[in-house]
Structure 1
């Protein structure tokens, strides 16, 4: 829990200025992800070390500087397997709301800290990277961890990766995405989206239980980065605790995160990942 809290409080602090694509806070967030990938001994798997640079464009609102530089941050655990599990989360957010997307018209001009969206997912990404790099087990699959840039501008980082992948797409076993996993609501439960994208998922979930309620949904599409992989015929799961009143507002702050539930979500994900490694290369099913 200590690591999760440290990551989320750092990424959603006011000094990060809402992590707007191409701006100082987003660059700092990318540096933070890279620093931890290095610390955990992940191999660089970008195009320039850990980085995969790309150009992003603001299209939702008219701004003075619509073209922005961004990076996907990519680290690899090589277990000498022919196949790889991809784990991803986007690190960008809305800045001060000027690029569009804010749900608080009076809040435009205030920092949108994005603690749940998506400092929570990045914290999960870093904890899973730490877990699989330090568990002293040579797993049956490789791991590719990706911090995506420019998700809020239209899934641009994940689209770029799937168009210019740094490992062959046909070697991907499946992709796990975390976006907004910090505000668990017991009455709704955790949404696990993409369950229908492979015939292997029902086998993988057999015997898995959790201290939190979770609901499996078949569709592979959805408003986050797994969609880019799904559209390339790759099985996906998207973990998401749902919308709330602070979504895309300046009030999405670290003190509202449910860290106990976040830990339970990561435990569930580890169980799912571990079970997926008992399966042969997973097939893909188009769900819509």
Structure 2
């Protein structure tokens, strides 16, 4: 459970406590209902090594029940840096309530042992942010900036299957939206009062690296950045044409600027999902951490995200165009009207 604080606080507290007491590794058993609360703090992607899969197949033939879904993590990719370094491997094993009694029985046994085989590997990710500025024309307002960003990286090759994660929705949809909006605003440059920083972030999937780098090394003063809009995964085919304004409960005034145009473009607002999606969810979050109002536009089916099924066939181009119009109208008003 998460009583006594936010999921990250509870998680860090337990990990650091056991680490300080000499634990070599930790295994957390989580109910599936809790999984969404902790998922943002897990390093993604992860998969079984082939040798472990072979052992699992043998165990299943012997009558054992093997849960095929386990995430392994050092809990550092998207989460805030903990007060003390986490130096031991941390494993998360989900279970459903039907198996709860079985798990409790196993954990209560005095002779229970867990065998872990692991190794640490340092990886260097070479990436870059790409962007530019569309300058406003008002002598007093042109030094005020709106950042409009979308990450252009994805997960690459699946070493397990050999197939590629194409990321059509996550986040080619957001990149295409920004390109279109940037083109339109360039044509209307004379109408703009404030300036726009148009940014394509690298390294989002590996810990919001690009946006984190920008807020620590900005090429415009952060004190002059008045707001940030992130566009991440807005074209996936779903049952309803709706958009989620992630961060609406935290920055309601900013979200309200976009709500005004929902009916005009024919889109409904999805339910509020800030509990799951705001913290570390996308490139808006490092800006929020710096005190800059920031929201993320999201409009897709989470079941396909980070899978090979996130492909061109799964894109709803009509919805992608409508969400792009919504973002454009919101950005245009921000750049041209009093704030």
State the TM-score, normalizing by the size of structure 1. 0.67
Which one scores higher on RCO, CA 8 angstroms, separation ≥ 6? 1
User: What is the deviation of 1:171?
Assistant: 0.6
Matches within 5 A, 1:79-228: 79-80=136-137, 81-98=142-159, 108-187=161-240, 189-198=242-251, 200-201=253-254, 204-205=257-258, 207-208=260-261, 209=263, 210-215=265-270, 217=272, 219=274, 220-228=278-286
Q: Secondary structure at the match of 2:322?
A: helix
Of 128-137 and 228-237, deviating more is 128-137
* Matched residue, 1:41: none
Does the CA contact (< 8 Å) of 1:184 and 1:190 recur in 2?
no
Indicate the structure with greater helix content.
2
Instruction: Choose the corresponding residue for 2:325, options 253, 267, 281.
Output: 267
Q: 1:194 to 1:234 in 2, by over 3 A?
A: same
* Matched residue, 2:102: none
* Matched residue, 1:73: 130
Q: 1:68 to 1:85 in 2, by over 3 A?
A: same
User: What is the deviation of 1:247?
Assistant: 1.4
Q: Aligned equivalents of 2:242 and 2:284: distance in 1?
A: 20
Q: Aligned equivalents of 1:66 and 1:264: distance in 2?
A: 39
Q: Secondary structure at the match of 2:205?
A: coil
* Matched residue, 1:277: 335
Q: Aligned equivalents of 2:241 and 2:191: distance in 1?
A: 37
Write the deviation string for residues 73-129 of structure 1: whole angstroms up to 9, x where unpaired. Answer: 01111124020111101111111134xxxxxxxx64211111011111111111111
Write the deviation string for residues 227-269 of structure 1: whole angstroms up to 9, x where unpaired. Answer: 1111111111211113343211112111221111111001111
| Unaligned stretches of 5+ residues in structure 2 | 1-76, 78-88, 91-117
Q: Is it true that 1:249 corresponds to 2:310 in the alignment?
A: no
Q: Secondary structure at the match of 1:144?
A: strand
Of 187-196 and 224-233, deviating more is 187-196
State the TM-score, normalizing by the size of structure 2. 0.58
User: What is the deviation of 1:197?
Assistant: 4.1
Does the CA contact (< 8 Å) of 1:84 and 1:171 recur in 2?
yes
| Unaligned stretches of 5+ residues in structure 1 | 1-56, 99-106, 282-288
Larger Rg: 2
Q: Aligned equivalents of 2:255 and 2:177: distance in 1?
A: 23
Q: 1:163 to 1:136 in 2, by over 3 A?
A: closer
Q: Aligned equivalents of 2:322 and 2:145: distance in 1?
A: 24
Of 266-275 and 196-205, deviating more is 196-205
Q: Aligned equivalents of 1:192 and 1:206: distance in 2?
A: 9
